[in-house]
Amino acid sequence: KKPFSALQEEVLRLKKERNAVILAHNYVANEIQEVADFIGDSLGLSYCARDAKADVIVFCGVDFMAETAKILNPSKTVLMPDAASGCSLEESCPAVELAAFKAQYPNAKVVSYINCSGAVKALSDVICTSGNAVKIVEHFPKDEQIIFAPDRYLGSWVEEMTGRKMILWDGCCCAHASYKAEDLKALREEFKAPIVCHPECKKEVRDVCDYVCSTEKMIAWARENPSDTIIVATVEQMIYRLRREVPNKTFIAAPAPNSKSLRCRHMDKNTLEKLRDCLRDMSPQVSVDEVVAEKAKAAIEKMLSWSK
Ligand code: 13P
């Protein structure tokens, strides 16, 4: 295990002083993953946030994740290294537009992907993540009409997995949606290795891949897959986590168009310096409107209980 840098030591000292817990998404910088108490996908981190006992939760991820932590555990101070780390999926689905859309389908249930605002969660019957979307949708009777927001590619994957049609909101993750099927095909030819991708990828990209799953599930899949080399089609920092968890295999980050790997510009706003600063200054803090939080909490808690 390599020693901590001076800045990492400072973060760990401040963390202790503040009685804080550091939650980090699989997509954040390596040096943040190294000081985190928990690293995981949106689902795993939601459980960690709900159950956190420390006074302070520092969420190294994006705003909807930190907001979810605050909604689930409102008595805690929730900090984010950079309050401007948002999500293109979240931007694609303003709550007022979803409310108008919902009014067109008065009998439909709304299942929203966790990558959305608190206000959208408050309009939803239940939330899902990529790790449990299939299970959540299957929880509804077959003939129940479902609006699925905001990711149409995750939605279409869930449609394939469950064999049921849904009413899809037209949003996407601009990073994952940039992958091209022919590039991944060429990569498979070059390395003769299987490809795992995230369900936010387009259908034609998913069809080229060997397995589609949430970031956390990629670890178990990689461990069990007989190949020594695995191509990973998601945000690059996932490779660091995979290499730590499955050290005997070679992981290759699938390059995105015009770039050697896929990056999320919002996740990249999380730096070790900003993590140190937020613990030192106890800012920026996450807050959620009380009325929104109460409704959103019901939808998130329903997800946590259904996905057990
Ligand atoms: P996971 O829940 O699979 O980690 O996905 C989070 C995300 O935002 C993917 O872009």
Of 23, 27, 196, which is best to mutate to test ligand 1, by the most ligand atoms within 8 angstroms of its C-beta?
A: 27
Q: How far is the CA of 41 from the centre of ligand 1 (A)?
A: 6
Average pLDDT of span 139-146: 97
Report which of 205, 266, 217, 272 is spatially closest to residue 242, judged by C-alpha positions: 217
pLDDT surpassing 90 at residue 21: yes
Among protein residues, the one with the nearest Cα to ligand 1's atom 1 is 41
| Ligand 1 pocket, residues with Cβ under 6 angstroms | 26, 41-43, 115, 129-131, 173, 198, 200, 214-215
Model confidence pLDDT, tens digit, residues 143-176:
999 999 999 999 999 999 999 999 999 999 999 9
The domain in which residue 249 lies consists of: 176-253
Whether residues 219 and 71 share a domain: the answer is no
Ligand 1 atom showing the smallest separation from residue 217 Cα: 3
User: By alpha-carbon position, which residue is closest to atom 8 of ligand 1?
Assistant: 115
From 45, 214, 239, 242, the mutation candidate for ligand 1 (largest count of ligand atoms within 8 A of CB) is 214
Structural domains counted in the chain: 3
154 and 283 fall within a common domain: no
Question: Per the domain annotation, does 262 fall within a domain?
Answer: no
Looking at residue 2, its pLDDT comes to 85
Assess whether 158 and 299 both reside in one domain: yes
Instruction: Compute, in angstroms, the gap from residue 27 CA to the centroid of ligand 1.
Output: 8
Provide mean pLDDT across the span 226-240: 98
Compute the distance from residue 228 Cα to the ligand 1 centre, in Å. Answer: 25
Q: Are 142 and 191 in the same domain?
A: no
- Please report, for the domain that includes residue 237, its CATH number: 3.40.50.10800
Query: How much distance in Å is there from the Cα of 99 to the middle of ligand 1?
Result: 25
The answer on 150 and 10 residing in a single domain is: no
Q: What is the pLDDT of residues 240-286, one digit of tens each?
A: 999 999 999 999 999 999 899 999 999 999 999 999 999 999 999 99
Q: How far apart are CA 95 and CA 171, in angstroms?
A: 13
In a domain, 145, yes or no: yes
Distance 215 CA to ligand 1 centre (A): 6
The first and second tokens of residue 289, run together, are 């409107």
Note whether residue 260 is domain-resident.
no
Would the pLDDT of 129 be above 90? yes
If asked whether residues 104 and 74 sit together in one domain, one would say no
Evaluate whether residue 45 is within a structural domain: yes
ipTM above 0.90, yes or no: yes
Q: Whose CA is nearest to atom 3 of ligand 1?
A: 214
Distance 42 CA to ligand 1 centre (A): 6
